[in-house]
Chains A and B, each alone.
Chain A
């Protein structure tokens, strides 16, 4: 655990509860934004990848294991939103987002790069490509779509998602990271 924990005898239950609530509500908000397409929020028919933004913000100051778990949880919930009827296991967003969470935490950002939203936007750009590539690989293995179509789609989706998500990254990153930083300092 990289997060400094408060001594056991001084656990502030009210504060922990509030922190948990904000974490859960912010995650649900990011999922709830998925079907929204506002003018300016759309590029070639796709919107920003909100769960990706949440997972990157979550993982930046946490251990790779915590990042992985956060990514898998968000991925499963996005699966449920996309295709609740079949409940099929593959292709799953959990693969890409879990990988994103783990990789982001592995970056050990506070040691390598200055923490500002420009470097976060760069990380989001790279992670959006990782996320879409994980999905394209799953489609390729499954074989339910023609291989050439999958990889032409991948180019369009990865680039669109990367550009839009990195532009919108500060909206999720700034408030959430500020809140979590205050939690660890307090």
Chain B
């Protein structure tokens, strides 16, 4: 194994630690509800799964 390959593996391993930890903290892989606004400015809660999410919210 060359020195360059070892350096690339070190960088890859560093990314392999940081990226999954960051993704875990962000809750990746779990159901998600995001807050969006429609053209009239109303808030829409959009779920990533069928059972999550709801209707429009007026007044915001």
A, B: real partners: no
Chain A contacts to B: CB under 8 angstroms: none
